[in-house]
Amino acid sequence: MLGLGIIQGLIETGRNFVGSYFKPERLTTVQYPEERAKSFEASRTIPMLVYDGEDPNKGLRCTACTICEQECPPKCIYIVKDTVKKPDYLGKMQMQPKIFDIDISVCMGCGICAEVCPFESIKMDQVFELSTNDRFGSLLLHKHQLAKSNSYFNKICPTQAAEIDANRAADVHKAELKAKADAEAKAKAAAAATTNAAAGVAAAAAATVAAPKPAPAPAAAAPVSKPASAPVQQAKPTPSTPASPTPSADKKP
C-alpha cells in the first residue's frame, strides 16, 4: 500500500540515529588533531630514502643509479652523483648521491620509484602532514629530509621490511661463505702454484686443471651480488623501455 515504504524508510533512519548513540563502532569519524587514523601497511604518500644503521650519510642504500629518476612519470626526482664512492652493506664500493631532491608538490605518489629501485633504497612513506607556509622551497625535499632509518621503515611496513632484511642478511651470509670459499680457493691455488713452481714445467697440465677451479666460484656468486627479490628483478628490464624522448629536459623544476 502507498506509504508503507515511507514508514520503512523512516524506521531505517531512526535505527541509525539511535544506533549511533549506543554502538560506538558505527561512528567511523576520527577526531583528527587529537587522534590519528591507524595507518595500514599498503598506504603511501611520498617517497623516502631508507638507510641502515644510525648515520644517514654512511648507511644510505641509494647508489645514485638514477633508475627512479628516469622512471618517475612527473619527473619530480633530481639526482647528482657524488665523485666519492662508499661501501654498501656487502662491503662493495658503490656510487652515492651528492644531491637527491624530490619535489613533493610535483610527486603524485604513484610508487613507481619504490617499485623499480633494485637496492631497496627508495620506499613510500606514510607521512601526510606535509603542508608548509612556503609554496616552493619547503616542498622541495633534500636528501637529509628524505632519509629515514630502516627501523622507521620496519615500523610502518613490518612485513615488507622484514622480508627485505631477511634477504639482505642472506646475501651477507652468502657473501661471507663466498669470501671464505674464495680464500680457500686462493690458498689452494697459492699452494698449487708453489707446488707447480717446485714441480717445474712438467706440471703445466696440472695447472690447467687447477685453473678452472676458482672460475665457477664467481659465476655462482654473480646472483648473490644482486640483493634484489623476485619482483624487483622482473621490473629491472623496464628502465630502458619507457624512456622519454627528452630524458634530460626539465629534470629540475
* Residues between 17 and 56 with contacts to other proteins, criterion CB under 8 A: 17, 19-21, 26-29
- DSSP annotation string for 26-73: G-----TTTS-PPP-TT---SEEEEE-SS-HHHHB------HHHHH-T
β-strand pairing of 86-87 with 147-149: unpaired
Q: Is 133 in the site for other proteins (CB under 8 A)?
A: no
Contacts of 79 (CB under 8 A, 6+ apart): 64, 66, 68, 69, 97, 99, 100, 101
Set of cell numbers at residue 122: 627508495
Q: Is 169 in the site for other proteins (CB under 8 A)?
A: no
Per CB under 8 A, which region of 8-16, 65-73, 168-176, 227-235 contacts other proteins?
8-16
Looking at the Cβ atoms of 29 and 240, the one nearer to other proteins is: 29
Min dist CB 23 to other proteins, Å, is 9
Min dist CB 37 to other proteins, Å, is 15
- Look at residues 134, 118, 151 and name the one whose alpha carbon lies nearest to residue 228: 118
Rg (CA), the chain: 28
Q: What are phi and psi of 99, to 5 degrees?
A: -125, 135
Min dist CB 10 to other proteins, Å, is 5
Site size with other proteins, rule: CB under 8 A: 18
Looking at the Cβ atoms of 35 and 250, the one nearer to other proteins is: 35
Min dist CB 13 to other proteins, Å, is 4
Footprint of other proteins (CB under 8 A): 1-3, 6, 9-10, 12-14, 16-17, 19-21, 26-29
